[in-house]
Structure 1
Amino acid sequence: MPQISQIGEIYASQLFWLAIVFALIYFGIGKAMVPKIERTIDDRAARISGDLLAAQTANDTAHGLETAYQSGLDAARAQSLKTVGAAKEQAIAATEATLKTGDAAAHDRIAAATVRIDAAKAAAEAEIETATVDAVQDIVAKLSGVAVDRATIEQKVRAERAHG
């Protein structure tokens, strides 16, 4: 075969060109492209670490703000409990004062009503006694025809009323 017989003639030139192509590829990729790729990787790593640091800082800031918010909220709760307690005490004091005033007024009205009732009761008893004495005097006068002394009748009516 003629192609195999030519190998000896072109073998050295093909190896020479193979070495030149590999050298160009090695120096082209190794010296020109690899530094750019390394620089891109370094930039990306720096950006990622910067972003992580910024995220950590933001997280710490948010945690600090949340702690401050919670402490403010706790202080507001404590203050509101104090305010509610003071308002409750004021309401209780006002209610007690109103109740005392109302109780005193009711007591006065009850005392006045008791006096009026006692007066009305005494007046009614006096009227009943007078009516009873008049009725007894009239009955005795009509039935027996005897005029009985009014003082005696009043004494007897009082004695009967006292015994019930």
Structure 2
Amino acid sequence: MPQIAQLAETYSSQIFWLLVIFGFVFFVIGKGMVPRVMGTVELRDKQINDDLAGAEAARNQANAEEEAWRQRENENRAQAQALVAKAKADAAIASEGKLAAAQGRIDEKLSAAEAKIAEARTSALAELESVASEAAQTIVEKLAGVSVPATSASSAVKKVLSNG
């Protein structure tokens, strides 16, 4: 076979050109393009790491600002609660003063009413005694036909009312 016989003659030439092509590809791609690609990858990794570090710093700052805001909110809430408590205390004191004044007016009216009732009771009892003594005189006079003096009738009615 003639193809096999030519193999020895072309074999060294093919190996030479194979090494030349591989050397050329190695130097063009390996020494020219790969460093550029690796530089781009390193630059991209560095930029990603910088962005992540910036995001972490921004998150930490946001957390710090949020904590400061929460602290201010809690202080404001405490101040508001203190104001509400003070207002409640002031209102309670004012209400107590008004209630004490109203109670004083009610007590005055009550004591005046009790005095009027006591006076009316005394007046009614006196009037009752005089009416009862007159009625007793009239009844004794009509039933027994005896005239009873007013002082005797009055003393008998007082005696009966004091026992009753």
User: 1:51 Cα shift?
Assistant: 0.8
Corresponding pairs, count: 164
1:52 counterpart letter in structure 2: L
Per the alignment, residue 76 of structure 1 pairs with 76
CA distance in 2, matches of 1:12, 1:59: 66
Q: TM-score, normalised by structure 2?
A: 0.94
SS of the residue 1:145 aligns to: coil
Return structure 1 stretches of 4+ with deviation > 6 angstroms: none
User: 1:122 Cα shift?
Assistant: 1.5
**Structure-to-structure mapping, 1:22-41, within 5 angstroms:** 22-41=22-41
Per the alignment, residue 158 of structure 1 pairs with 158
Deviates more, 1:102-111 or 1:137-146: 137-146
CA distance in 2, matches of 1:8, 1:46: 54
CA distance in 2, matches of 1:144, 1:34: 154
CA distance in 2, matches of 1:9, 1:78: 100
User: 1:102 Cα shift?
Assistant: 1.4
Per the alignment, residue 123 of structure 2 pairs with 123
Per the alignment, residue 56 of structure 2 pairs with 56
Give 5+ residue unaligned stretches, structure 1. Answer: none
User: 1:17 Cα shift?
Assistant: 1.0
Could you report, residue by residue, the CA deviation over 1:39-96 in whole angstroms, capped at 9, with x for unpaired residues? 1111111111111111111111111111101210221122022112101111110111
Per the alignment, residue 12 of structure 1 pairs with 12
Q: TM-score, normalised by structure 1?
A: 0.94
User: 1:20 Cα shift?
Assistant: 1.1
Give 5+ residue unaligned stretches, structure 2. Answer: none
1:26 counterpart letter in structure 2: F
User: 1:163 Cα shift?
Assistant: 1.2
CA distance in 2, matches of 1:49, 1:139: 126
2:96 counterpart letter in structure 1: E
CA distance in 1, matches of 2:93, 2:50: 64
CA distance in 1, matches of 2:67, 2:122: 80
Per the alignment, residue 110 of structure 2 pairs with 110
Per the alignment, residue 94 of structure 2 pairs with 94
User: 1:31 Cα shift?
Assistant: 1.7
1:22 counterpart letter in structure 2: F
1:131 counterpart letter in structure 2: V
User: 1:145 Cα shift?
Assistant: 2.0
